Amino acid sequence: MIIGLSHRARGPAVLRALLIGSAMIPLAIGIARAEPVDGPAAAAAPAPRGNASITGTISQAGSGDYLDGASVSIPALGLATAADRAGRFTLAGIPAGTHDVVVRYVGFPDARRSVTVTDAAVVLDVAMTIETSADGDEIVVSGSRPIAESEAAALQIQRTSPSLVSVIASDSIGRLPDQNVAQAVSRLPGVGVQRDQGQARYITLRGSPINWTTLSFDGINVVSPEGRDARFDSIPSAIASQIIVRKAVTPDMTGETIAGNVDIITRSAFDYPGLKVQAKGGLGHVELGKKTEYEGSLVVSDRFDTGIGEFGIVSSASLYRRGMVTDNFETDFEAVDRDLRPGYETRNWARETENKLYRLTRKNYSLSSRLDWRPAPGHKLFAETIYSAFEDDEQRNNYIFDLDDQQSRTPNGTAACAVNARPASGTTGYADVCTGNTPLLGTVYGIDLNSNFTVRKYKQSVFTNTLGGDHELGDWKVAWRGNYTRSIDDRSQPAQLNYDSPSFGTNGANAANRLTVGYDLTDPQLAKVQLYRTIRNADGSFSRGDRVTAIEDFPRTLSRLRSLKAQDVTEAYTAKLDISREASVFGASTILAAGVRYDDRTKTSNEYLLDLSTPAQFAAAGIATNYSAIAKPGGFQGEIPLGYTFQYFDRDKVLGLVDQAKAVGSYVRSDANFYDVGEKVYSAYAMATATTHWGSIIGGARVEHIRNDAQAFSSVGLIDVKASQTLVYPSLHLNWDVDDRMKARLSFNTGAARPDYDQLRPNLSYNDANATISGGNPDAKPEKAKGVDLYVEYYTMPRGFLSIGAYYKDVTDVLFDSTQTFGRTTLNTGGVDRSGYLYSTIVNGGSGYIMGIEGAIQQQLEPFTADLGLPEWMGGFGVQLNATINKSRAETPGTAALPSRKVPLPGASDANYNLIAYYEKYGFSARVSYQNRSAWLDAIGGTDTIGGVVRGADGGDFYWAKDNELDASVRYAINNNVEIYGDFANLLNGPGRRYAGSSAYTIEHETFGRRYTGGVRVTF
């Protein structure tokens, strides 16, 4: 694949700019900050090391809560460390004598202690306090400041991290502000989300594709039920103690990460000093459809001293349930090869327009438990199990107006024509400009109405179990983990019923029993249809009859009944061993680390289908073929102006028909949709982390050997495809502590994004309910990326933060989702024509890149009220702002007939913005959050030669339109143990919208309504 000159010049230029910037920024900072500082940058070269050590815990005075990530240092010796989750720290290699120890934690004044050591270990426990009185006595400030405390905890972990991270920390009672992990993480700098029916589902880091981001629990990568596209809406935020988004890949992370990793740090009983109970319960209202939602969670934690060591156990449970309906319209466009009149080169016609009208209940729930055991100092063992699930119990009325039903009858003249509203004899007016029709406005006569009624009961679950241990063996530290995870994507559809209009007949002889549809798609935010009777004139042409509003007035007959049992099951086994040792390398305190890891993953898909499709079968089962047999009273629960009325179906009646069908049919395994894809990964890494008086350096490399084995059925029987490859991922990270408030970071990293498991299967599979076909590509290669990041972070007192950064990633073998009309009859079985289904597969293109800048600021007014002469109450105002601006390009796959072209990187947005304004004072807090993500490429459309012109066969490439979200929350702490809260979500009620080629051609538009929830939280 040939790379364009502009790309050849741009990539190195950006890289050189970043490298020059990395050299110039420290120089500029040093000039600007020439005054002496009391921090790591001002310290002298490290003093000689000794044999003494200082150990202890860092906690908050009053509450006793441990301060994870608190910085503990002896500046004069150039020694520093950070406290762990249990507040514990160890400073080793200290020479005998008296030394000043400095403890820093965001939001607290520095704590300084003078400690005398000999050759033995000295214990130093520090309780951090907010203020000091005039006579030097400590003042413990009590009160609930969840936003402030969350900010402080997050910034402290971020500040002491040796690599580039963003963090969400739980607040003073261990809660997170959002219902699922995707929604919570979306508030962080550089994070965007993709939503499904208004609910945050996938995470994109710094505008990049969703498959570039991996998911892990406590450092163990977890395969999502859907595969490598990590799905986060099935993970309730209640199970998380903190969430760490790692944006710069280090050698101890798996190499299948390009953009970064979202690590869910689960709770441990050792996170708390003793018994801890947290509970939450809320009830809410969903505006669209006037539905109800409710939520609840419970966390119980305690620790016990025994004769064989200390034990800790923590268990949690959570539930979120929401009833909802949707306002939906969808339109599929196509280039019509029979449309050859002047101007045809740019015309894309609506081949069908439809409404998918959902009634559904969504539910997230989780159960988790963790047992920790410290049998002796320096040793910890644990066992943890987590079960989380997402359920979508759905009923869908789907009305498809099949405008191109008689496309083969479209006149194919090439000359310009006078407009005559009546179409030529025997034709329907589809794609016929001679009737005055345009792609977005017109009338089509005698078309088919496809009515599909589906009961779906989807469930995605993750069951992950981990055993592990951490051991200090003299100078060595050993950590081991063993994990088993079972992820299930249950795609079962207990029932799908298809009702069709009568046949068109010879030259439209039966057209009078079909619809005439007036369509108006000129407004991208609303597809309008009007329904009419069809009049067949004496000359065989058609005219519009009376307007019809009730869709049930058009005759339709049951043509097919199906019931599908389908599950994709992924089983994953992971074993890893990490060993590290602290040493002195060139006078710097250095941690040498190495590790090995083994992953064994297998994804299997099985489907069993019960299928009846003939009048004889329906009669034998006693199944009525008219819609009235399953209809139920009641009007449309949504608000979109449909242009017609309809009746919902009764779920129990539909399932009753399925029970009747079992008397004459049975569930048969669908071999065409079976596949089994296995993956084994053998990996090892070595890295060194050197800490100096000016900062730290992390360097190393990871090696991964991957073996794939894919099986599937095809027309020639069972196919087995094997492949293997070895990839090496070097990285280097430099962190310069300019002073005690400013840090500069420069990293060079590599990574890869491998094709998903179902994308590696060697066959095609189809979904009749959604009219889709998907194809595997066992020859697809992983995307490989090399990147550089340059960031500067500035921490202001007490909880302020400012950062600015730039990044560039160069990618080869870019993976594209390709979507087009299938156009073949090879999958037409059982009387079903699948040639018009949308066909999706994965293909490799050429090279690509993404580059951008990211900025973030957060600050509360409180530190400045006195200097500005403002009243004390105004100190509660604060803001959190972040923005990411991207530019990306990638080369599509090309052939000799259809050359490659440049498009934005799939899934990459040009801009992500987050704005949070809040007020927190006197036990009251309020927060308003606005998020904006610009449009992004979803999939490349099929390209073909149509009418002698190379063009998009289905309207062009497919894009998601920009996403705007506005949420708000309020809370009031009645006392230290009880608070009441209110959450207000989706206040803009903006649509989820996709379009093809141009924003004027909407292919999907859904809205879901605002949501309001109130409740109570308790803790003790």
Handedness of CA 867, 871, 873, 877 (dihedral sign): negative
Residue 715: the pLDDT is 62
> What does the pLDDT average to over 285-291?
95
Tell me the pLDDT tens digit for each residue of 96-118: 889 999 998 887 888 899 998 88
What pLDDT band is residue 32 in, cutting at 50, 70 and 90? very low
Whether residue 823 contacts residue 775, with contact meaning beta carbons closer than 8 Å, is answered with no
Residue 877: the pLDDT is 94
What pLDDT band is residue 4 in, cutting at 50, 70 and 90? very low
User: How is 533-602 classified by DSSP, letter by letter?
Assistant: EEEE-TTS-EEEEEEE-BGGGS--EEEEEEEEEEEEEEEEEEEEEEEEEEEEETTEEEEEEEEEEEEEEE
> What does the pLDDT average to over 629-658?
94
Residue 8: the pLDDT is 37
Residue 175: the pLDDT is 53
What pLDDT band is residue 290 in, cutting at 50, 70 and 90? very high
Which segment, 241-255, 257-271, 370-384, is predicted with the most confidence on average?
370-384
Residue 26: the pLDDT is 38
Helices (H), 51-133: none
> What does the pLDDT average to over 166-174?
66
- In 892-1009, the DSSP E strands lie at 902-903, 911-921, 924-933, 936-941, 943-946, 949-952, 958-960, 963-973, 978-985, 992-996, 1002-1007
Does residue 875 surpass a pLDDT of 60? Answer: yes
Q: Which residue has the higher pLDDT, 828 or 962?
A: 962
Tokens of 366: 């989780």
Q: How far is residue 944 from each of residues 334, 408, 948, measured CA to CA in Å?
A: 11, 18, 9
Instruction: Count Cβ atoms within 10 A of the Cβ of residue 975 and give its class: 0-12 exposed, 13-18 middle, 19 or more buried.
Output: exposed
> What does the pLDDT average to over 947-961?
89
Q: Phi/psi at 152 (nearest 5 deg)?
A: -65, -45
Residue 20: the pLDDT is 36
Does residue 312 surpass a pLDDT of 90? Answer: yes
